[in-house]
Amino acid sequence: MIERSSIEISLSDIAQKSGANAALVKYHFGNKDGLLLALLARDAATEMSNLEYLLAQPITSTAKLKLHIAGIIRAYHRFPYMNRLIHYLLHETSAGSADEVSKFFVAPLLDFHRRLLAEGVSRGEFRKTDPVLFYTSLIGACDHLFFGRHAMSRATGVGPVTDEVCRQYIKHMETLICGGILTQAGEAIAAG
């Protein structure tokens, strides 16, 4: 999928590329959606264990927040298919797929946001912020850098998402999110 920059692949493409037997791939995953879900579950699990690690670090909540923003944007940039996959599974397929996306991706991430925000508030670094609204704005804004770009790049002056664009967007999102939720104490920490 990375090679083709598309999730439009068939089980037999996958079998051929991996050297596996197409029937075996089908036996394992049932169908293409089953394979895509297994892939999402695997990659999401890696990302979620990174979040647990981040939360346990002996650093300020503000530092964790900034690392998290950069982490999300970098993960989307490194695995562009994750973004397309989530959109595909939410749109194309049964209600069951939306449940799975929720289980592997939305619910753990939202839970992480709840705990990070509560920690930041208890330490006096963050203002009280609704985790669901926070999740929606942060994930929506990060997702859109990758999802909307091919339509945007038809508008004047909008190029592809390069490493440099990612760096700029990380800085932009840090400014918005920190500007929106840090207390004065949090701002003093963010300013170093």
Give the type of residue at 68.
Answer: H
Smallest distance, Å, CB 164 to its own copies? 12
Is the CB of 11 or the CB of 190 nearer to its own copies?
A: 190
Is the CB of 67 or the CB of 152 nearer to its own copies?
A: 152
Smallest distance, Å, CB 19 to its own copies? 31
Is the CB of 157 or the CB of 192 nearer to its own copies?
A: 157
Contact between 54 and 68 under an 8 Å Cβ cutoff? The reply is yes
Q: How far apart are CA 161 and CA 148, in angstroms?
A: 11
Q: How far apart are CA 36 and CA 68, in angstroms?
A: 25
Is the CB of 26 or the CB of 32 nearer to its own copies?
A: 32
Taking alpha carbons only, the member of 53, 47, 165 closest to residue 109 is: 47
For residues 91-119, b (16+ Cβ closer than 10 Å) or e, as one string? eebeeebeebbeebbbebbbebbeebbeb
Give the type of residue at 36.
Answer: L
Taking alpha carbons only, the member of 56, 47, 45, 184 closest to residue 116 is: 56
Smallest distance, Å, CB 54 to its own copies? 20
Binding site for its own copies (CB under 8 A): 87, 90-91, 98-99, 101-103, 105-107, 110, 129-130, 132-145, 147-148, 150-152, 154-158, 168-169, 172-173, 175-181
Is the CB of 11 or the CB of 177 nearer to its own copies?
A: 177
Smallest distance, Å, CB 10 to its own copies? 18
Smallest distance, Å, CB 12 to its own copies? 23
